[in-house]
Amino acid sequence: MDVQVKDDIRIIKFSGAILKVDSDEIEKELSKLTQSSVKKIILDLTKVHNICSTALGIFVATKRKLKPMNGDIKVIVVDEDLIQLFEITMLDKVFEIFPDLSAAMEGFQLDEEDSN
């Protein structure tokens, strides 16, 4: 897990499989971000081929924490199996899913334009 900052957006890059053993670290990192008033998070899953249900639950819980602060999480997914997982679990209705980083960044810009 690698965290980068671009403007006021935190980009969290994952790779490989996100397993239950990784969940505590992910939850700590996301909790730290939400407690430090970070409102915009991009989860970059372009190099991920498997996600456990625990991690998905953490992503949803973090999104819920951000909502009252007018924050959001955008997700980058390119793996067809992961896209299908998001669709089957209906998480594609919870998260905006983008094909690359620039599209996800643009998603936040569009949100700001809509709120003005």
What is the Cα–Cα distance from 62 to 75, expressed in whole angstroms? 13
pLDDT of residue 102: 96
Please give the CATH architecture assigned to the domain spanning 2-115: 2-Layer Sandwich (3.30)
Degrees, nearest 5: CA angle 99-52-97: 20
Give percent of the chain with pLDDT exceeding 70. Answer: 98
What residue segments make up the domains of the chain, in order of their start? Answer: 2-115
DSSP track, the chain? -EEEEETTEEEEEEEEEE-GGGHHHHHHHHHHHHHTT--EEEEEEEEEEEE-HHHHHHHHHHHHHHGGGT-EEEEE---HHHHHHHHHTTTTTTSEEESSHHHHHHHHHHHHHHH-
pLDDT digits (tens, 9 = 90+) for 73-112: 999 999 999 999 999 999 999 999 999 999 999 999 877 7
* Mean confidence (pLDDT) of the chain: 94
- Over range 7-29, report the average pLDDT: 95
Amino acid, single-letter form, for residue 24: D
